[in-house]
């Protein structure tokens, strides 16, 4: 597996969280990548434009034939599978920019984005041109420049909420956020859902579980019991239920089969 990541800085982090290149070549069988929904939408550039997206516990299947796509409103666990190789370049947007880019999405599933922006097809071609191998991130930055906007007042408010949740590693409640920002829970949840397109409570749980996953990937000797306590869970059934909501499987199963993709966070 070949993975390279660029974490964006000002001014690009106004709308974009990170971008990364990933190639998986499994000559002994079908290449596949597990996917965890982090509540941030993505522009996913798919070199092969040929694969299968599996989702839900029933592992429903959708064929992927799009060069550029995003995933919208489907149930975990997810995984993407191809016959020989999988090569992606992904631009991950900030959660407060989800609605700015993707509010027009309607039905759930794999959404082809090439119909909404002809520039995405052109960028796809450039990203996977062998001559541009060392220049991919610069091309991504040029694309980001064309998308920069002044955040609206509610986007700025939601950005502050998201940054507070990230700072607390998801170990915070909606009530505590309303106290921190001096506004009602109803107002917080309303503007958050409008801009992020996810409920605030789900975002909090997602941030907590993903931070826990990344920590465990770096510290594999820490027990799950200790880890769950450190992240505010004193009821194992509550921890397992939240973990399964985000990752689609129970914690023990997940960490016994830790996806290689997660190792990029080590």
Residues 131-153 have pLDDT tens digits of 999 999 999 999 999 999 999 99
Q: What's the full length of the chain, in residues?
A: 266
How many helices (H) and strands (E) would you count in the chain?
Answer: 10, 10
**How far is the CA of 215 from the CAs of 14, 86, 93, 166, 209, in angstroms?**
26, 26, 23, 14, 10
Q: How do residues 81-125 score in pLDDT, each as one tens digit?
A: 887 888 999 999 999 999 999 999 999 999 999 988 889 999 999
Per the CB < 8 A criterion, the answer to whether 192 and 178 are in contact is no
End-to-end CA distance of the chain: 15
- At residue 264 the predicted structure's pLDDT band, cuts being 50, 70 and 90, is low
CA distance 31 to 171: 35
Side-chain half-sphere exposure of 115, counting CA atoms within 13 A: 6
Eight-class DSSP state of 84: S
Mean pLDDT of 195-221: 95
CA distance 206 to 220: 20
**How far is the CA of 241 from the CAs of 7, 10, 44, 56, 220, in angstroms?**
31, 37, 29, 15, 21
Is 2-147 in CATH node 2.60.120.10? yes
Question: Closest Cα partner for 117 from 80, 91, 96?
Answer: 91
Domain coordinates in residue numbering, the chain: 2-147, 156-265
Q: Which residues pair with 68 in a beta bridge?
A: 45
Over the Cα atoms of the chain, what is R_g? 19
Question: Closest Cα partner for 65 from 79, 48, 85, 89?
Answer: 48
Q: How do residues 244-258 score in pLDDT, each as one tens digit?
A: 999 888 999 888 877
Q: Determine the longest span between alpha carbons in the chain, in angstroms.
A: 56
**How far is the CA of 135 from the CAs of 86, 130, 139, 167, 259, in angstroms?**
20, 10, 6, 32, 28
CA distance 194 to 155: 9
Burial class (CB in 10 A: 0-12, 13-18, 19+), 70: buried
**pTM of the complete model:** 0.93
Domains 2-147 and 156-265 share a fold: no
Q: Which residues pair with 88 in a beta bridge?
A: 22, 46
Q: Poorest-confidence range of 27-36, 201-210, 228-237? A: 27-36
Q: 141: how many CB neighbours lie within 10 A of its CB?
A: 14
Is 156-265 in CATH node 3.10.20.30? no
Residue 2 vs residue 169, higher pLDDT: 169
């Amino acid at each position: 597996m070949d993975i390279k990541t660029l974490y964006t800085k000002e001014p690009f982090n106004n709308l974009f969280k990170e971008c990364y290149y990933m190639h998986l070549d499994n000559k002994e069988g079908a290449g596949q990548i597990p996917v965890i929904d982090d509540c941030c939408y993505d522009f996913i550039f798919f070199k092969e434009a040929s694969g299968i997206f599996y989702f839900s516990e029933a592992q429903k299947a959708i064929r992927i034939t799009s060069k550029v796509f995003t995933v919208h409103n489907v149930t975990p666990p997810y995984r993407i599978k191809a016959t020989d190789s999988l090569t992606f370049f992904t631009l991950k947007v900030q959660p407060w920019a989800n609605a700015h880019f993707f509010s027009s999405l309607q039905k759930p599933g794999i959404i082809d984005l090439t119909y909404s922006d002809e520039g995405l097809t052109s960028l796809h071609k450039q990203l996977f041109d062998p001559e541009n191998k060392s220049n991919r991130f610069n091309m991504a930055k040029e694309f980001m420049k064309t998308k920069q906007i002044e955040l609206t007042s509610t986007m700025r408010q939601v950005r502050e909420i998201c940054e507070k949740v990230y700072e607390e590693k998801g170990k915070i409640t909606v009530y505590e956020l309303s106290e921190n920002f001096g506004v009602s829970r109803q107002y917080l949840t309303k503007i958050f859902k409008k801009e992020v397109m996810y409920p605030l409570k789900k975002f909090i749980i997602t941030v907590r579980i993903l931070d826990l996953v990344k920590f465990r990937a770096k510290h594999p000797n820490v027990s799950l019991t200790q880890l769950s306590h450190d992240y505010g869970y004193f009821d194992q059934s509550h921890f397992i239920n939240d973990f399964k909501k985000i990752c689609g499987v129970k914690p023990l199963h997940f960490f016994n089969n830790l996806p290689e993709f997660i190792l990029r966070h080590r």
